[in-house]
Amino acid sequence: MKKRVLSGIQPSGTLHIGNYFGMMKQMIAWQESSELFCFIADYHALTSVTDGQQLKKDIIDVALDFLALGLDPDKTIFWVQSDVPEVTELTWILSNVTSMGLLERCHSYKDKVAKGLHPNHGLFAYPVLMAADILLYQSQVIPVGRDQKQHVEVARDIAMRFNHTYGETFILPEPEINDDIAVIPGVDGQKMSKSYNNTLEIFTDDKALKKKVMSIMTDSAPVEAAKDPDESVPYLLYKLFASEADTAALAERYRAGGLGYGTVKKELLEIISNFFEPFKKKRADLANNLDYVYGILDKGAEKARFQAKSTIDNVREKIGIRY
């Protein structure tokens, strides 16, 4: 029997290659071997997005990107988080078995406040909503980066507290961490992130992509000098797209000397453009048929609600709420 895998992505800006290699590529692969639940986390985005029209646009853009890149709605339950209202009901119910201490220990809240986000209740209680996302669908496997592992552990703690209080109700989820996925560097060498404004967008136009690639941070080593490829942002990005043989060949050129960073950036630009080119036409076709895309999301929400209703009915019975 296939394991149930769940993951979500926030519609809080244009998706970039860090999103693709860090999450989207893995989700598209998971759909072949698991029962995949994949959602657009618009409630989560409210912690940072306050422009309603922009959020509407970002939601559909995420859907277009995922479908263009290969997410198959016949193999995956794909929906928008807010289209399943049971998740907010479960969030409130779970809040009553969640200790303040558990939330106060979550490093994500402190990190986001340190980056300038307003310290409101939504940001503080974010892990409870994430737990509801996971537990509502009785998810077994949650693919996450190491920085999100704590949130899955919080979901397990909340599930265990509920199960202990009311009886066995929720499956305890397990985090799935792919150690082969390194941190994707942005154009400034930091982790690629919209909050750092250092991203390379997946479906940007050629002119904008060229401008960003050519602006990637490099050191001041002269062309003739031998260079360490593993300390070079252009090389680390090239490695994501290239075959092992091509990656090894470029590394050797770095170490031999005589290779300028401008040359590497041009080769990086070419490989990125070639990689995403086949997906651009599909995305354009989908963008011209939005009724079809909305239909996919509606059907996904219907399937997700079927599982959600089963869980929430059981939860209501356990806690003594009539339905």
Active site residues: 112, 191, 194
Q: Which residues pair with 35 in a beta bridge?
A: 4
Residues in the chain: 323
Burial of residue 33 (CB within 10 Å: 0-12, 13-18, 19+) is exposed
**Tokens 């059981």 sit on residue:** 314
How far apart are the C-alpha atoms of 269 and 95, rounded to whole Å? 47
